[in-house]
């Protein structure tokens, strides 16, 4: 009897959730008000981090900026003030160093207050094939792209749990969903970031903390300089993304509590196909899409940090 009732409940709710999803395709979700909230963005010294900071500033938030680049984060702070942020605080923080993350997090809690929206954006890429990548760079990739998320969550999640209010944002990558030739360490770090963020989100739901939302962002290559030199075989299908457009889409996803955001939209189809196609057909599709040669012309920037 219990099996029958639970199965019926699942079927009915499944129908409703699909109907709801179709409705939202026609009628956009209402955007939540984040005015006055404290938003912390790592890797805010440039690129997507800076652009997100400016978007949040225009929404009347208090913006907290972290980066290892002092000049870059100062410039972002200046621009955020001009863009309407209620308050702007910037800190020099090495996200690869757990002790530094905890130290600066304590400063933020004392000087600014509880963080309501945490955006883990800091990231690096070696751009080398696995056997050519020095151990130190592989370790640094994992420390910045993955482990930093653990430490920022540890620092700021307790206050969110106490208030049952907050939003955790992970800027991951499409390389965190599909392996890419020449990006073994980067893919590993982003796969881990996606798995970590998704698991913590489920943990929060299981403990009744449904006021804490999560958004996992998985974009294709973005034209910020981080992946300079990389070319896409079919730009209409898999374009190099415009940073301003990406930042706006991320903010919209946060404001509408969207759990997963893949960019471009073709990534939803490619990811689904990866999981259902035979391996040989998947490899064939990878060759067709140019996935085996994406990194052949990689240059990056001199300081490979986003």
> Is the per-residue pLDDT at 159 higher than 80?
yes
Output the pLDDT for position 237. 86
Q: Which helix (DSSP H) or strand (DSSP E) does residue 138 occupy?
A: helix 135-142
pLDDT in tens, 106-151: 999 999 999 999 999 999 998 888 999 999 999 999 999 999 999 9
Q: List beta partners, residue 64.
A: 40, 89
Q: The whole model's pTM is what?
A: 0.91
Output the pLDDT for position 302. 56
Which of residues 158 and 234 earns the better pLDDT score?
A: 158
- Which distant-in-sequence residues (6+ apart) come within 8 Å of 33 by Cβ? none
- Active-site amino acid positions: 186
Give mean pLDDT, residues 173-196. 94
Q: Which helix (DSSP H) or strand (DSSP E) does residue 91 occupy?
A: strand 87-92
Which of residues 35 and 228 earns the better pLDDT score?
A: 35
**Alpha carbon distance 119, 32 (integer Å):** 17
pLDDT in tens, 61-117: 999 999 999 999 999 999 999 988 889 999 999 999 999 999 999 999 999 999 999
Give mean pLDDT, residues 170-186. 93
Q: Is the dihedral of CA 238, 239, 245, 247 positive or negative?
A: positive
Give mean pLDDT, residues 149-167. 97
Closest CA to 168 of 119, 115, 238, 239: 119
The percent helix, strand, coil of the chain (3-state, each to 5) is 50, 15, 35
For the domain spanning 37-289, the CATH number is 3.40.50.720
């Amino acid at each position: 009897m219990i099996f029958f009732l639970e199965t019926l409940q699942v079927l009915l709710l499944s129908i409703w959730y699909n109907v709801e999803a179709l409705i939202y395709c026609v009628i956009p979700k209402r955007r939540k008000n984040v005015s006055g909230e404290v938003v912390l963005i790592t890797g805010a010294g440039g690129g997507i981090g800076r652009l997100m900071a400016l978007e949040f500033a225009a929404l009347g938030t208090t913006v907290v900026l972290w980066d290892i680049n002092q000049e870059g984060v100062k410039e972002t702070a200046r621009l955020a003030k001009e863009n309407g942020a209620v308050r702007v605080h910037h800190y020099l923080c090495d996200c690869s160093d757990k002790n530094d993350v905890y130290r600066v997090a304590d400063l933020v809690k004392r000087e600014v207050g509880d963080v309501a929206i945490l955006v883990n954006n800091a990231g690096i890429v070696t751009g080398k094939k696995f056997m050519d990548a020095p151990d130190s760079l592989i370790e640094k990739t994992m420390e910045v792209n993955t482990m930093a998320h653990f430490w920022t969550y540890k620092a700021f999640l307790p206050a969110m749990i106490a208030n049952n209010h907050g939003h955790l944002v992970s800027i991951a990558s499409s390389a965190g969903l599909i392996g890419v030739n020449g990006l073994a360490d980067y893919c590993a770090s982003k796969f881990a970031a996606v798995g970590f963020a998704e698991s913590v989100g489920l943990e929060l739901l299981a403990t009744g903390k449904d006021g804490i939302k999560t958004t996992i962002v998985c974009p294709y290559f973005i034209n910020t300089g981080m992946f300079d030199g990389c070319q896409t075989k079919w730009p209409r299908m898999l374009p190099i993304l415009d940073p301003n457009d990406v930042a706006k889409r991320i903010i919209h996803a946060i404001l509408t509590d969207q759990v997963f955001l893949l960019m471009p939209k073709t990534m939803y189809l490619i990811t689904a196909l990866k999981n259902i196609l035979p391996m040989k057909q998947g490899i064939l599709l990878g060759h067709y899409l140019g996935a085996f040669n994406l990194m052949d012309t990689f240059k990056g920037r001199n300081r490979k940090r986003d």
